[in-house]
Structure 1
Amino acid sequence: MQINHLTRAYRYDGIDLPIPPHLADDPQGLRAYHATLYPAILNAEAVDAGVTNNVHVTEYRRAVGTKG
């Protein structure tokens, strides 16, 4: 049996976002932090994009729809 240690990555619009160490274990705090960089993240859906090269990727995907 082999244990692989995964790192986390958060992406928005193809850009890897920074993860401050003090927010690494707080998904809601991290989302609020990322929303200061890209305000559309507040309305985006957080989607588990799977594991690639020992990196667990979570993507923020913009909500698509109509206004009104």
Structure 2
Amino acid sequence: MEVTQLTRVYRYDGIDLPVPPHLANDPAALRAYHATLYPAILNAEAVDAGASGGNLVTEYRRAVGTKGR
């Protein structure tokens, strides 16, 4: 059996986002950091998109729908 270390990658709208080393283990702080780059991330859903090329990909997906009635 071989153990492979995966690198976590965060992606929004097809763009890989930077992950500062001091925030790598704090998802809430990392989300706040990414929201400074793309404010829509605050309302986006974080979805585990699986493994791809040695990376574990997490995607921020925008909420789609209508506002009120």
**Smaller-chain TM-score bracket:** over 0.9
Q: Would you say how many aligned residue pairs link Structure 1 and Structure 2?
A: 68
The SS at the match of 1:66 is coil
Matched, 1:34 2:34: yes
State the TM-score, normalizing by the size of structure 2.
Answer: 0.97
The CA RMSD measured in Å over matched residues stands at 0.4
Q: SS in structure 2 opposite 1:41?
A: helix
Q: Unpaired runs of 5+ in structure 2?
A: none
Q: Which runs of 4+ in 1 moved over 4 A?
A: none
| Structure 1 spans left out of the alignment, 5+ residues | none
Alignment match, 1:51: 51
Q: How many angstroms does 1:28 deviate by? A: 0.3
